[in-house]
A and B are shown apart, each in its own frame.
Chain A
Amino acid sequence: ETGVTQSPTHLIKTRGQQVTLRCSSQSGHNTVSWYQQALGQGPQFIFQYYREEENGRGNFPPRFSGLQFPNYSSELNVNALELDDSALYLCASSLALAGGREQYFGPGTRLTVT
Chain B
Amino acid sequence: QKEVEQNSGPLSVPEGAIASLNCTYSDRGSQSFFWYRQYSGKSPELIMSIYSNGDKEDGRFTAQLNKASQYVSLLIRDSQPSDSATYLCAVKGGGAGSYQLTFGKGTKLSVIP
B46 touches A45 (CB 8 A): no
* Residue among A90, A103, A106, A108 facing the most chain B CB atoms (10 A cut-off): A103
The contact size tier of chain B is 20 to 34
> Are the C-beta atoms of A48 and B43 separated by less than 8 Å?
no
**Size class of the A contact interface (CB-based, 8 Å):** 20 to 34
B14 near A: Cβ within 8 Å?
Answer: no
User: Which residues of the other chain, A, contact B109 by a CB distance below 8 angstroms?
Assistant: none
Knowing A40-B105, A101-B51, A102-B34 touch, does A45 contact B42 (C-beta < 8 A)?
A: no
Q: Does A58 make an interface contact (CB < 8 A)?
A: yes
**CB-CB under 8 A for A42 and B51, given A88-B43, A103-B101, A107-B43:** no
Q: Which residues of A contact B43 (CB under 8 A)?
A: 88, 90, 105-108
Q: Is B69 an interface residue (CB 8 A)?
A: no
Roughly how many angstroms separate A35 CA and B100 CA in the complex, as a whole number? Answer: 10
List, in ascending order, chain B residues with CB within 8 A of A100's CB. Answer: 99
With CB as the reference atom, state the residue of chain B lying closest to A47.
Answer: B100
| B88 closest partner in A (C-beta) | A42
Residues of B close to A105: CB separation below 8 A: 36, 43-46
Q: Which residues of A contact B (CB under 8 A)?
A: 2, 31, 33, 35, 40-45, 48, 50, 55-56, 58, 88, 90, 92, 99-108
